[in-house]
Structure 1
């Protein structure tokens, strides 16, 4: 894996979640041990599901009270950072240690908390063709990781101490930076304590009038790049480049819809075509098959202050080489720098099968 790219990932994630707050400073610290099971999302990892993973999640959270408009729109979420330790209780898989940026969203009079965290994790025992060939889940030490927590949350039950309990979902994958990359998903039950500190006294949430947002159709151009590898182990990592153009239309303060196209220059496909044409003649792949692809997509963008969450569903209209089917999807984060320029970190997949982690820049006119 080209590990130099992952600090960029962490910096972009931190930018995406770092929203300045000018109001009262109140914080919480929570510690949640968990116990769970690895989900069988792919039969290729059946041999790795032997025991129940255990671990803990430590979260640091800053409260928001509505001094920014976006905070009121999303019911005054928390902004935070977290650390996750997970022992897979399987010597082949090893242990995972992760750092994340996260949001806590609240529902039902702030008794139900949904946490969404994104970050990077370090695996202690990835695939090695000589020493650990059975680990087809993690092909590298560094992994992209996402986790979700849905918890009953009650703060300040006794003085500053509170309680939370619920379920968590933890995902680890290297997004095909290096094969193999079957990945794991853990569903766990968690319970723990919270501690509140910072400004004392009663704090009032600031209500704000909702502003109506109307915009003309906007035109976007984006360039994405990165490294990835096919599922054939040791076939090599190759750079890819994607040029995208699309239009978007705001539906209100929170959302916009998108329509556009992508042109893909995926060099790992060039090597995969050569490999299949020479090693597997029964597949009837011509060595001069074009490795490029082009697609059209529909998308949605959810705006949260200076960042947004992007989801897109696409279909290849130019598809000379069959790789994982004609449908593709993309999900990720955008961070706006001013009104026009943005950076993006997105995961391109075919269903649940990741193809690449994309680093992008663009302009919205």
Structure 2
């Protein structure tokens, strides 16, 4: 869905900070048991083992030093190291580093119920190789993106010690950068311990007025992106994918921006694809595309979780569906300059990972 260390800095970026005191720490160690979800028949021969793993993590409790802490009921920000043994020589092992946000839904001095969402990078020891490991249709590159979702219940067993049980889903994929790329989905159960530096947690008093200064204001985003993708397992060349976008937006609440705009795309992998499938080399359609989109940004200080839905209105070579989706992370380095990492998708299938830079006017 890389960069775990960089994302840690993103989550820590300030937004009109009122206080400088850091929140208390939570340190955890969990055992994990999983199975491989056979989401397509092409990976059914690999969905037979039961991977097991170990996670070590460090969480910082937000404490109200920034306005968005209170808006989201004081979530935790964490960094995790995750190891998996797939108990299958075709798949081998994986090592991941992720950054995550842990949002609580129920809380008392002894109990917590949290939902965790995270992303990062994973390294797989045994990716697909046409000559030596052709059965691995799940993972085709050493480096993959990670998406984590889980529900966690923590109950106090001592003054600073909590017992944690949870259910989750880990998804690994390289975003079609290399193929085959069916990805791996691991429904997982967790059991472990958390050390709480402070329990119960008492947040700082919120400021009298934490209304964002740009609430109700319009803005313009101009951006461009680059990405790379592979056509197939037999064509090992990486093709450049480029886009430009002009988006208008408005901050409609403390947590939300709404967006609408236009985009243009040039996917160079479509040029050889078109030549391979066309009956004649004359009068070939244009592979460039243009689309219109609507979108939403969920705001966490300088960081935003981005979701887009777009429709192609210029699409002479119909290599995909008439619509596309996008999910990603966007970070404002300054009030004007931002960067983003997005996953562009066609009907649930990854198209390309986009590395984006832009300006806000």
- TM-score, normalised via structure 2 length: 0.91
Question: Is 1:62 aligned with 2:60?
Answer: yes
Change in Cα spacing, 1:231 to 1:204, as seen in structure 2 (3 Å) is same
What residue in structure 1 maps to residue 251 of structure 2? 250
Aligned residue for 2:9, secondary structure, equals helix
| 2:168 is the counterpart of 1:168 | yes
Instruction: Find the counterpart in structure 2 of residue 145 from structure 1.
Output: 146
Q: Which residue of 1 aligns with 2:12?
A: 18
1:151-179 per-position Cα deviation (integer Å, ceiling 9, x unaligned): 11234x31321111110110100111111
The aligned residue for residue 86 of structure 1 is: 84
Larger helix share, 1 or 2: 1
CA distance in 2, matches of 1:95, 1:287: 49
Deviation at 1:89, TM superposition (A): 2.1
Quote the residue 2:226 is aligned against.
225
CA distance 1:10–1:204, change in 2 (3 Å)? closer
CA distance in 1, matches of 2:323, 2:281: 21
Which stretch shifts more, 227-236 or 111-120?
227-236
How many aligned positions are there? 351
Q: Tell me the secondary structure at the aligned position of residue 39 of structure 1.
A: coil
The secondary structure found in structure 2 opposite 1:349 is strand
Write the deviation string for residues 101-124 of structure 1: whole angstroms up to 9, x where unpaired: 111111112611111111100001
Match of 1:297 among 290, 293, 298: 293
Partner secondary structure for residue 262 of structure 1: strand
Judge conservation of contact 1:85–1:97 (CA < 8 Å) in 2.
yes
Q: 2:326 maps to which residue?
A: 330
Q: Following TM superposition, by how much is the alpha carbon of 1:200 offset from its aligned partner in structure 2, in angstroms? A: 8.9
Higher mean Cα deviation, 42-51 or 257-266?
Answer: 42-51
Q: Deviations over 1:241-279 (max 9, x none)?
A: 1000111111111101111111001111112212223xx
Change (3 A) 1:30 1:242: same
Deviation at 1:96? 1.1
- Structure 1 residues 149 and 34, CA, compared in 2 at 3 Å: closer, same or farther? same
What does residue 119 of structure 2 align with?
118
**Is 40-49 or 175-184 further displaced after alignment?**
40-49
Corresponding position: 1:51 with 2:49: yes
Q: Verify: 1:319 aligned to 2:318, yes or no.
A: no
CA deviation after TM superposition for structure 1 residue 291, in Å: 1.5
The answer on 1:39 being equivalent to 2:31 is no
Deviation at 1:324, TM superposition (A): 2.8
- Identify if the C-alpha distance between structure 1 residues 16 and 351 changes in structure 2 by more than 3 Å, giving closer, same or farther: farther
CA offset at residue 235 of structure 1? 4.7
Structure 2: gaps (5+ residues) = none
1:168 & 1:46 partners in 2: Cα distance?
21
The answer on whether the counterparts of 1:273 and 1:286 sit within 8 Å (CA) in structure 2 is no
Match of 2:73 in 1: 75
Q: Which residue of 2 aligns with 1:3?
A: none
Q: Distance in 1 between matches of 2:269 and 2:201?
A: 58
Alpha-carbon distance, 1:210 to partner: 5.5
Secondary structure of 1:47's aligned partner:
coil
Match of 2:26 in 1: 28
In the superposition, relative to structure 1, how do residues 287 and 11 fare at CA in structure 2: closer, same or farther (>3 Å)? farther
Q: Secondary structure at the match of 2:285?
A: coil
| 1:312 to partner: Cα distance | 0.2
Cα distance, 1:285–1:137 mapped onto 2, change above 3 Å: farther
Per the TM alignment, residue 211 of structure 1 is displaced from its structure 2 partner at its CA by 3.5
Label 1:286 to 1:313 Cα distance change in 2 as closer, same or farther (>3 A). farther
Q: 1:202 to 1:230 in 2, by over 3 A?
A: closer
What is the rounded CA distance, in whole Å, between the counterparts of 2:4 and 2:96 in structure 1?
11
Backbone CA RMSD of aligned residues? 2.1
